[in-house]
Structure formats: structure tokens, C-alpha cells
Structure 1
Amino acid sequence: MRNPSVRNISFYLAAALIFSMMVYNVFYHLGTFPMSSWDEARHGVNAYEMLRHGNLIVNTYLGHPDYWNLKPPVSYWAIMIGYKLVGMNALGLRLMSGICATLTAVAIALFVKKRFGSMAAIVSLLALSTSTQYLLNHCARTGDADSLFVFFFTLSILSLLASRRQTRWLYAAGLACSLAFLTKSWHAGNILLIMVLYFLITRQWESGRWRAWWRAALTFVVPVLAWAFARYHYDGFRFFKQMIGYDLLLRSTRPIEGHIGDEAYYGVILVHFFFWWLALLVGIMVISYMQGVRLLAFEGADHRRKEDVIGILLWICVPLLMFTIAKTKIRWYILPVYPPLCLLIGICASQLWRKGTWGARGLLLAGLLFVASFYETNIQHYIHHPKPNFELALLQQTAQMPVHGYELFMYHPLHEKGRWPQNAVLTAELANDLKPRHGGLKTFLHTSRSLLLVKKAWFSKQLEHKYHLSVLASNRWGYILEKHA
């Protein structure tokens, strides 16, 4: 047998290598990718305007209270911190998402190392570090609320599992659940349901810890009520009516905004983004069955690990079931299931490695190398080839120009009002506090301190001369025009 100190050194070296890869996957070129309209830019505008107006409670869009993005303010606060730390830019928008994704990986690795050993921790970390949807789609590398939400979701469930050994972790679980609610609203209901089911299945009413559970409930309720009281101070029940009627009841009972799907929707999403990791998990189960290895059986002193496994399985199944029942289907709703799926893969791989034959170990090692290499290759291709958005690049050219705070209009010969994409709104605001407005050419001509955004297809010298305009900036997408002094 190897010396324990040698095993520890090997673990920390492997963990450091994989964690370095995770950090690279998350942060490389993080600030160079164009901002997306759904929902990254919306969150970015909310956070920018809250910061500019000095209001930490009410999120606004184009200067008005936002009753479409019906989320409590914690995700906006995270973006505001990023803006303050690294500037009003795409990196600032995404900084805290990246940090929370890496902290989630750390939390997973530390928990699994303590409960299930070094091998399980390494495999879990490797799987999460190469999970393409978790890293690239609406989560770790974007300014959406999901990375922060998954972080709090993960902390809450890990704390719940740790509370079976030390009661104080139950209070951490309640507080993390509260922060998850204050990040992504009703999605945190999955955490509460997991807690209730875990309480019932593990028969915790027999432990006599009712007082601890009530205190944990208070750690959840008090922060939520504090925010609700502060929000009510600004606009009464209007935000809450929308939050309940639209964001909870309507989304749950009918498909809205074109987000449709059947009962297999999330299964298809998992197969699309996570197929080879799932295939490896199935392969581990098949080989273990053939060799008589009981993967999730823990005897004697390990009986509490069974409860950990129950919690992990609930963590996977509850969100998948609840979002399958809900009528509105959106692919990133199931992002919270990636950490527990990676946990399960790590635990099963560890058990096979410990109890299986040398041949089984060889197959497992080959499978791990193949799957991790396959997804890491896809990730590297993505992060090294950002797709440019020339409209946003044109708006960014105004950053160093003396047009701070100007009103910005869009010209379109067929649609005089000019619809602003959300990512264009955010880019304009971050570039030079430009204020996108509706009204088109006519309103622009009668507004002082204003600019006109014109797509190349709609620009002509006749337009420029007829209205006495001059070109302030241009690129292959179009022009920004200003009136002659």
C-alpha cells in the first residue's frame, strides 16, 4: 500500500491540475465574447441602472421599473460588484458568475473528498470542469443569474447533508436557500422540496431536532422578508403580483414566450450536452453489476453515506421532475442538476476503482480520459473562437468620444420606432452611458445631444446630406451619425 502522505500529494497535484483547467475554461477570453440579449444583457442593464441610480432594491430597464425580469436583487448585486472591480464591460458583467462557478467546483471537491475519498473528488471535479452546458450555456461564462443560483443551491444541499453530523450546518442550509431565492426566485422551491423529502425519507423527526429545523426555517425566512419589506416600500404589491401571477403561475401552467417542450425535453437536453458522461456512468454500473460490485452500498460505519446518496439522488430527481411538470420549458432551468450528477459519477467511479478488478480499472481510466478529452476539446474550440457582433462593436467605439449621456436613436425606414435589442441597450449604456430611445429619425432630429444608429443597408449619402448629418463612427455593420453643430 502507498504511504498516506504520497496519496495526499497525488490528490492535491491532480486536483490542482484539474482546477487550473476549470479556471482556464471559465475565465479565458471571458470579456471578449459579445453580450447576449437573453437574459444576460437584461440582467446587465438592470444592474447598471441600479448602480447608476443608487437604488439597490428596484431593478429598472431603460429607466423604468422592470416588471418583466421579476427576480429579487442578489444577482444584480453580484454584477454590480463585478462592474466595480473590473469596470463597466463584459468582464465586469460576468466576473462573479465565473467566480461562483469555480467556488461551486471547490465546494463539490471538498465535500466529496471528506465523504467519499480522493478518487471520487477528482472524478467529480473533472466531470464538472468539462460540463459544456454548465460552463458555456447561460451559466459560468455569462452574466446570467444561473451560476450564482447554482452556487447557492449547491451550498444549501451540501450543508443539509453535513447537518446530519453537525447541526449548525442546518442553519447554513437555510441561509443559502434564502440567498438562492433572492437570486432566482421560485426556482429555489426545488431546494425546499428536497429538504422536506430528505427530512421525511431519513426519518429526522425521530432525532428530536425540531428546534434546529425551526431555526433553519428562520434563516431562510428573515432575509426574504427583509427584501420583501424593502421592495414593498417602493411599489407596493405590484412587483409581487407580477412575480406570482406571471413568473410562477403562468410559467408553470402554460408555455409562454414560445418555450415549449414535451416530457422528454430535459432528457434530450442532458443527452445533448452531457451524453458521454452519462454513458460512462451507465458503463460503470454495467461493469460493476457484472463484477458483483455494489456501487452505492455503504455498510457499518459508513451508514451515513447512504443518507448522503439519498440527498444527492433527490438533488438530481426533484429539479428534473418539477421542471418537467412545468409547462414552460427552457434548457437552462436544469443547470442545478450538474453538480449532483458529477458527484454521482465520482462516487460510482471511486467504488468501481476501489472494488473492481485491474481490467475494470483500466476500462474506467480509459473512459475517463476519453470523455474528459472529448468535452475539453469542444470547450477549447468555443472559448478560442468568439463570434463577433459588429453592431455591438460599433457602439463600443463611442467609449472614448465626447458623447457621454447622449440619447441614442435607431433609424429604420420601415419601422420608425426602432426596436432595441437588449444587448445593444447594455452595450450603449456601458460604453458611454448612452440612452437608447424609441422614436427613430424624426425624434432624433428634434433632440439635442443625440446620436443615430444606422445599419449599412439603410445608409445613403442622401440621408447624410438631407438632414445635415456627419459620421461619428462606422464599421462593416453600419454608422453612428450626429447632427452638424
Structure 2
Amino acid sequence: MLALAYFPLYYDLGRHPIQLWDESRQAVNAVEMLRSGNWLVTHFEGQPDLWNTKPPLLIWLQALSLYFFGFSELAVRLPTALATGGTILIVYFFAARTLRRPLVGFLAGLVLVTSLGYVRLHVARTGDYDALLTFFQTLLWSSLYRYLVAGRKREAALLAVAITGAILTKGVAGVLGLPALFVYVLYRRRLGWLLRQPSFYMAAGSTVLIVAGYYGLREWAAAGYWAAVQQNELGGRFDTVLSGHQHPSDYYILAMQELRFTPWHWVLLPTLVLAWSQSRRPLQHAVVLLALFSIVWLVVISNAQTKLEWYDAPVYPALSLLVGLGLWWLGRAVVLTYFATPHSKWLGASALLIFVFYAPYQRVLEQIREYRYSDYGLGPNARIGSYLRQLHHDQPLADSLQVLYPGGYDARLTYYQLTSTQRFQKHVTIISPGAQKTLRPRQVVVVCDPNEALRLDSLYQTVPLHSAENCNTLLILRSR
């Protein structure tokens, strides 16, 4: 399973450049944290970051990764890579050890890595919050299931780790899974038992202490943080539409049906029906837990005014496990019905596996290959990061660059400006179109926008030094 998961999760993971908006913002936070030594207050362009108000667990991990492995796209995404691998393992071992169905874990893992809603930019393929949040949410529901069965202190400790890690990863989003788990506890009639467990109170108390301690220290270190959290997380995204991200209430369900969880969504209803025909209660309880978690999470995010396409990421491991159970029940029925001998059963099962997974697996690999050449809908400057990397390889002596940028917010350029000196041995200066007239002879200019290239050509005589993708490096000779 891990070998098959490698290509969807890790192939070309460091190839595509740092992405605009969240990934680049976090990358800048991590670089500035590493250089300033301030591990409590995240900074952006030298100022406390009150736009990105999420707690810094991901930033801490990225800063450590950059420290040990150097400034690269892969280092920024290493925490995501660890989180996706950990999520796959939790799903597998939950099926194999808790439900005693290893094949279900294998099938569920393959469903997860062939789900385009999970193996995509902003989740499993970039250094964003959602893969790490998904890991902790998966650890949360799997640990609760085992805790209600066995009542071990180890599972209570894992519950504390899961909810604390989820909150320190993405703030308020870290608690969105709790209503479903509360309903599940009521369904299992274990609320009274739970409230009598000292280990439960120790887990809850440690979580409250750590989370409250962080928010209190953060506000003490840089006043205004808590007000920004209230504005951005405790009401803003749920009650109002931010940045034009408004969609109808069925946005996530339709997206999963049309692309993000196809064709696996067809197996969900048969799984729920087959679950009630099983004699093993643990399997039925697991189905209820997985279904409750997925439904409640989708209901909550569907009722928020701001809807972003990656908000549904935490439901995919639970849905994949449901599909894994359904495929196992359906596949077993087919094999037992149409294949008589043990040898033919193995052949039949293998043929079914290839038939079911070949097209989804091929589709997710095609999506990854498309990332190599895509501008991600961001225009001609989208691949400036990969171009700077190639320019360093082809023109190592060009050590001072003026990068033309049309203006506006772009944390990608901030990240590459901060890291190019150490990574590429190049000093990068970002200049706006209005400053083109200030260029001097013998300066080296990088331009990716064809309109800006034409304007530059109208102002100066230039000599081309390098060209790749849609970017050009030019040497300024003299004014026209």
C-alpha cells in the first residue's frame, strides 16, 4: 500500500513552485521565524502576522525542516508529506488491528490516494494546513473509537495529542470534529462511563492548559492577536463571505460527486446498507462513527458563509475507510460466488483490484503531471519560483537580479527573495512596473509577463541572457 501511495503523495512533490496565498505565506512565516529566533510570534515582512492568525504548529515544523534540509520547496512540504504518510498508516492500522480487517485497510488506503479532493494542491501536495489538520482529525476519531472499547490511558493520551495538535494547527477548525464524536458517544451510550474516567479529565485538562497557554502567551508577546483571531476565525469566516468565496450550500457534496470523490461516492450507500447485515457489532459501530464524522463535518462547513474547496479535506480518510469496507464486502461476495478454488479466488480478487483501481490511479497521476506545466490560473508570474531555480542552474554567474512584478500581494516573491541568496547565491530585488525607468545599464532583469517585457523593450536596449518557460532574463545596455 505504501509503495502504491508513493506516487500520488510524493512524486514530484518538490518540483512545482511555492504556491500563492497560503503556502507562500506560511513559508515566509517559517523563514522569518528561523532567522529571527522568535518561535512564539509569526512574522511577515518583519511585522507580527495578524492576517494569518492560526497557531504556529505547522510553521514550527516547516522552520525545523528548513533548518535541517535547507531552503527548498520540498523542505517546506516535508511536514505535509509526513502528515499524509501518517494518515495513511492510521487508516490502515485502524482497519487491520482495531477492526481485524487488513484488506479493508489496504483498500481504504488506495481509495484515499486516488481521491482528487485529498491528493491535490492545498492539501496533500503543498505545504498548507489541511493535510496536518486531516492527520490529527483522523487520529482523533480512531483514538476515540478505541478508547470507548478498551478505556486505556494510552488512547486518552492520543485523544489529547489529536485535539491539541488540531487546534494548534488550524485554530477553531481543529474542534469541528467534536460535535460528531459527542453524538457518537451518545449513540454508544458511553457518556456516563466517559465522565467517570480520570484519564478523560487529564486529557481534556492538558488540552485546555496547552491551548489557553499558547493563546495567552501569544497575546502577551504581541498585543492585538486575540482580537485578530476573533475577527478572522471566531466569526468572520462562518458569518461572512471572505474574499468572494461564496457558494451554495450543496457546494461540497456536488464537488465530491463530480470530481473530488468520484467514483468512490457510489460505494457509500451500499456500504451503509451492508453494514446493518453484519453480525459483528464493531464493524457497525465503526461505520456509524465514520458516517457521523463525515456528515457532521460537511454540514458545518456547508453552513459557513465562506466556502473554500479544501475545507472538506478531513472527511476523506473517514470516507475512504467506509468505501474500503464496502469494496471488501462487495468484492468478497463476487469472489465467493464466481470463483470456486482457492487459486482462482486469488486470481479473481487480483483482477477485481486492478479493474476497480486502475482508472482512478491513472487519473490522479495525470493530475500530478499537469502540475508541471500549469500556471494554476495565476497568470504569467505563476512559475517564477521554478524559473529562478532553473536560472541558477543555467546561469550561475548572474548573481544580482531585478525581478519585474506588476504589483499587488504576492508572498511567493517574498519567499524567493528571502531565500535566493542562500539557496541560489543570487541577490533578488523586486521592482514594480513604475520603477522600470530607474533601471541602470548592466543590471540583469527577470521578466515573465509579456506585456511588461514589451514595455521594458520600449525603454531600453537589452541583450537576452536566458529564457525558459514564459520567463526571460535580460541585460540592460542603455536607454532608448
Q: Give the structure-2-normalised TM-score.
A: 0.82
2 CA distance for matches of 1:283 and 1:192?
A: 27
Moved more, 419-428 or 330-339: 419-428
Residues 1:189 and 2:175 are matched in the alignment: yes
2:275 corresponds, among 257, 273, 295, to: 295
2:43 is aligned with what amino acid?
T
Determine the structure 2 residue equivalent to 1:248: 234
2 CA distance for matches of 1:125 and 1:257?
A: 35
1:110 corresponds, among 66, 87, 93, to: 93
Determine the structure 2 residue equivalent to 1:375: 360
Determine the structure 1 residue equivalent to 2:22: 39
Residues 1:82 and 2:65 are matched in the alignment: yes
Residues 1:423 and 2:412 are matched in the alignment: yes
**Deviation for aligned residue 1:341:** 0.5
Paired residues of 1:62 and 1:435 also in contact (CA < 8 A): no
Identity %, equivalent residues = 24
Question: Where in structure 2 are the equivalents of 1:144-293 lying within 5 Å?
Answer: 144-164=128-148, 165-168=150-153, 169-207=155-193, 209-236=196-223, 238-271=224-257, 272-282=259-269
Determine the structure 2 residue equivalent to 1:132: 116
Determine the structure 2 residue equivalent to 1:141: 125
**Deviation for aligned residue 1:121:** 1.6
1:228 is aligned with what amino acid?
Y
CA gap of 1:435–1:179, structure 2 versus 1, over 3 A, is farther
Render the CA deviation track for 1:128-156: whole Å, top value 9, x for unaligned.
Answer: 12122211231111111111111111111
**Deviation for aligned residue 1:344:** 0.9
2 CA distance for matches of 1:342 and 1:218?
A: 32
**Deviation for aligned residue 1:420:** 4.7
Paired residues of 2:4 and 2:110 also in contact (CA < 8 A): no
1 CA distance for matches of 2:307 and 2:41?
A: 27
**Deviation for aligned residue 1:19:** 1.6
Paired residues of 1:177 and 1:191 also in contact (CA < 8 A): no
CA gap of 1:472–1:56, structure 2 versus 1, over 3 A, is farther
Look up the SS of the partner of 1:478 in the other structure: strand
Determine the structure 2 residue equivalent to 1:322: 300
Render the CA deviation track for 1:284-306: whole Å, top value 9, x for unaligned.
Answer: 66xxx6xxxx424554xx43444
Render the CA deviation track for 1:208-248: whole Å, top value 9, x for unaligned.
Answer: 63433221211321221232133123212x12211122223
2 CA distance for matches of 1:235 and 1:156?
A: 31
Determine the structure 1 residue equivalent to 2:286: 308
Tell me the matched-pair count: 446
**Deviation for aligned residue 1:401:** 5.4
**Deviation for aligned residue 1:445:** 4.2
CA gap of 1:283–1:395, structure 2 versus 1, over 3 A, is same
Render the CA deviation track for 1:430-458: whole Å, top value 9, x for unaligned.
Answer: 322657667655499499xx986544433
**Deviation for aligned residue 1:279:** 1.5
**Deviation for aligned residue 1:355:** 6.0
Paired residues of 1:409 and 1:441 also in contact (CA < 8 A): no
**Deviation for aligned residue 1:41:** 1.4
**Deviation for aligned residue 1:52:** 1.7
Paired residues of 1:411 and 1:441 also in contact (CA < 8 A): no
1:348 corresponds, among 326, 342, 349, to: 326
**Deviation for aligned residue 1:427:** 2.6
